[in-house]
Amino acid sequence: MTPRPGRSTFQLKFFFAAISAAVLALAVAGVLFATSMRRQMDQRIEATLVVEARLAADLLAAATTQTTVPALDAEADRIGELIGARVTLIAPDGTVVGDSFETLDDVAAMENHGRRPEVLEAGAHGVGRSRRFSDTIKLDMLYVAVPVRHPAVGFVRVALPLTDVRHQLQTVLTATLTALGLALLGGAAIAWVFSTRIGQRVRLIAGIAERYQRGDLTPPHLGFGDDELGTVARALDASVQEVGRRLDEQARDRTRMEAILSGMVEGVIVVDAQGRLQLVNDAARQMLKLDDPAIGRPYVETIRLPAIVELVAAVLSGRTPEALQFSPPRDPARTIIARAAPSSGAAAYGLILVLHDITDLRRADQIRRDFVANVSHELRTPLTAIRGYVEALSEGDATADESQTFLEIIARHTQRMERLVKDLLRLARLDAGQETLDLAACETRGLADAVVADLAPEAAARRQRLEVAVAAPADLVRGDPAKLHDALRNLVANAITYAPEGTVIRIGAALEDGRVALSVADEGPGIPEEDLSRVFERFYRVDKSRARDPGGTGLGLAIVKHLVELHGGTVRAENRAEGGARFVVTLPLA
């Protein structure tokens, strides 16, 4: 920033320049004026003296009777008094016969004036002039002599002391100098006013420029003026405002781009043509586990993955590489697909790498394939059995009892397939969101009693007892009664299936963290700890051998989980300390 003294320097410089010009102009004018004045005055005084000399000659020519020296000297005194100058009368031979400044005796003593330059010149040209020191009266004098027609006088000489002339000149010069001095003062005042005004404008413009430099681009309230200074300031102001607008736009674009990049699920990495890392967005940092990417440094210092190095090298050498799949070394369970393309269509501007994390996609794909394999497998077992027994029946070798048994087996497998297809369809409906909730406040006990009544024959067949215990604060639950019935029925049916004969199955309802917790506890073998979270997966069975086929589809708990989550609830499996499994469903209070 320019310091304050620098600002006033401009004003002072401007002022001194103006005043110097004024002084110079006035000095030159003064000298010229004084010289011409002096010349003019000299000429005028000389001309006056000539006129006076002629006048004196005329006066003398009229008094031709005066021929004696005393009479002539008296005449000289008289004429001298008349014209106010020294008058000397000189005889044609050069003898002084009268002088207005001298007494009669002194006149007689005066030397011959016949060789005086003015007298010689007057004799030759009619008028003679001379400036010199007068020995007689000891003064610098201006002499003018003219011839005269008179019997005793040849020349009349008029003289004026030069001190008089100089005095007159001095007066004029003093007046001139005073006028010049006043003019200079006036000029200085005007120069000061103008320099102050222009200094203020320059300071105003400099102040605005400094403000712009600090980044504050608010336009000034005052105008810049209509002269060239104003035009320059306006042009610069317009350029600065334009640059400011563009910078603003760029900043907005950048912020928008950064927001887009940081909000993207895809990882984006930008590398310039020299292979220096320019940008790594948040998604890319997370995918590649880059804690502190070295922006502006060669990208290999940050990313050493062979797949990325290969892609970057390919684009920088002008090729269009295929997408590459890789797993980050620090996270081998993930799969990332990387594509690279040159920025702005040419490798000269660097390149952009886009990373897609396809781990979830692949997992979903795997789940889908496993599901299809599982369904096929689940259908193949009963179908193989049915086909075998149908063939055995169609051969006609079986006895009536055997045929009966075969038909029962066929019927059981058919039912199993039917259950499977029913469960699959229900899951498909739940997946597609086609099952909507019909919410109501349901009585917990009523819900449990209905399930108990439903499954009483199965429990009785296995000599199991079903007990219901509902704590008072949990007697109402908010849910779709039909769907809650299905979920609870599934859990109790599982308990009946997996717990040994003659055991007790307890259905309970209690408050848990402000929610209703419905539980089904049995005295069966329980579930291995590592399978507790997985039993809710489709077709997941603890006993994978299927040797001991309890007739389930492997989809029951998946449907329970779906139904409960539809209510905004949770379901978990746990093992009881005293043995047996417990399934807990939590639901919102009514």
Q: Which residues contact ligand ADP (rule: CB under 6 A)?
A: 494-495, 498, 522, 524-525, 527, 535, 540-543, 552-558, 581
DSSP 8-state assignment for residue 207:
H
Q: Which long-range contacts (CB under 8 A, 24 or more apart) does 378-386 make?
A: 378/420, 378/539, 378/553, 378/554, 379/417, 379/420, 381/546, 382/413, 382/414, 382/416, 382/417, 383/413, 383/417, 385/409, 385/410, 385/413, 386/410, 386/413, 386/414
Q: Using the minimum distance from each CB to ligand ADP, give the nearer residue, 267 or 524.
A: 524
Shortest distance, position 476 Cβ to ligand ADP, whole Å: 26
Shortest distance, position 529 Cβ to ligand ADP, whole Å: 13
DSSP string, 295-364: TTSBGGGT---HHHHHHHHHHHTT--PPPEEE--TT-TT--EEEEEEEGGGSGGG-EEEEEEE-HHHHHH
Shortest distance, position 499 Cβ to ligand ADP, whole Å: 6
Shortest distance, position 553 Cβ to ligand ADP, whole Å: 5
Shortest distance, position 541 Cβ to ligand ADP, whole Å: 4
Q: Using the minimum distance from each CB to ligand ADP, give the nearer residue, 220 or 525.
A: 525
Q: Using the minimum distance from each CB to ligand ADP, give the nearer residue, 15 or 498.
A: 498
Residue nearest to ligand ADP (CB): 552
Please give the Cα distance from 562 to 571 (Å, whole number): 9
Shortest distance, position 383 Cβ to ligand ADP, whole Å: 18
Q: Using the minimum distance from each CB to ligand ADP, give the nearer residue, 495 or 587.
A: 495
Across-strand partners of 585?
518, 571
Shortest distance, position 504 Cβ to ligand ADP, whole Å: 13
Shortest distance, position 437 Cβ to ligand ADP, whole Å: 22
Task: Give residue 423's Cα distance to chain centre.
Answer: 61
Q: Using the minimum distance from each CB to ligand ADP, give the nearer residue, 128 or 526.
A: 526
Shortest distance, position 573 Cβ to ligand ADP, whole Å: 7
**Taking a C-beta distance cutoff of 8 angstroms, is the pair 500, 463 a contact?**
no
**Taking a C-beta distance cutoff of 8 angstroms, is the pair 87, 80 a contact?**
yes
Q: Which residues contact 267 (CB under 8 A, 6 or more apart)?
A: 280, 281, 283, 284, 285, 286, 287, 288, 336, 353, 354, 355, 356, 357
Q: Which residues contact 500 (CB under 8 A, 6 or more apart)?
A: 523, 524
Q: Using the minimum distance from each CB to ligand ADP, give the nearer residue, 354 or 557.
A: 557
Residue bearing tokens 């005329």 = 58
What is the spatial order of strands in the sheet that 336-342 belongs to? Answer: 277-280, 267-271, 351-357, 336-342, 324-326
Q: Which residues contact 511 (CB under 8 A, 6 or more apart)?
A: 471, 473, 474, 517, 589
Shortest distance, position 578 Cβ to ligand ADP, whole Å: 14
**Taking a C-beta distance cutoff of 8 angstroms, is the pair 405, 429 a contact?**
no
Q: Using the minimum distance from each CB to ligand ADP, give the nearer residue, 10 or 540.
A: 540
Residues recorded for the chain? 590
DSSP string, 131-166: EEEETTTTEEEEEEEEE---SS-SEEEEEEEHHHHH
Q: Using the minimum distance from each CB to ligand ADP, give the nearer residue, 130 or 494.
A: 494
Q: Using the minimum distance from each CB to ligand ADP, give the nearer residue, 97 or 535.
A: 535
Q: Give the side-chain half-sphere CA count within 13 A for 252.
A: 6
Q: Using the minimum distance from each CB to ligand ADP, give the nearer residue, 356 or 416.
A: 416
Q: Using the minimum distance from each CB to ligand ADP, give the nearer residue, 160 or 527.
A: 527
- Reading the block at residue 589, the tokens are 């209070």
Shortest distance, position 489 Cβ to ligand ADP, whole Å: 11
Left, alpha or beta for 587 (phi > 0: left; psi -120 to 50: alpha)? beta
Shortest distance, position 557 Cβ to ligand ADP, whole Å: 3
- Reading the block at residue 511, the tokens are 């408050």
Q: Using the minimum distance from each CB to ligand ADP, give the nearer residue, 153 or 581.
A: 581
Q: Which residues contact 298 (CB under 8 A, 6 or more apart)?
A: 274, 275, 276, 277
Q: Using the minimum distance from each CB to ligand ADP, give the nearer residue, 168 or 497.
A: 497
Shortest distance, position 494 Cβ to ligand ADP, whole Å: 4
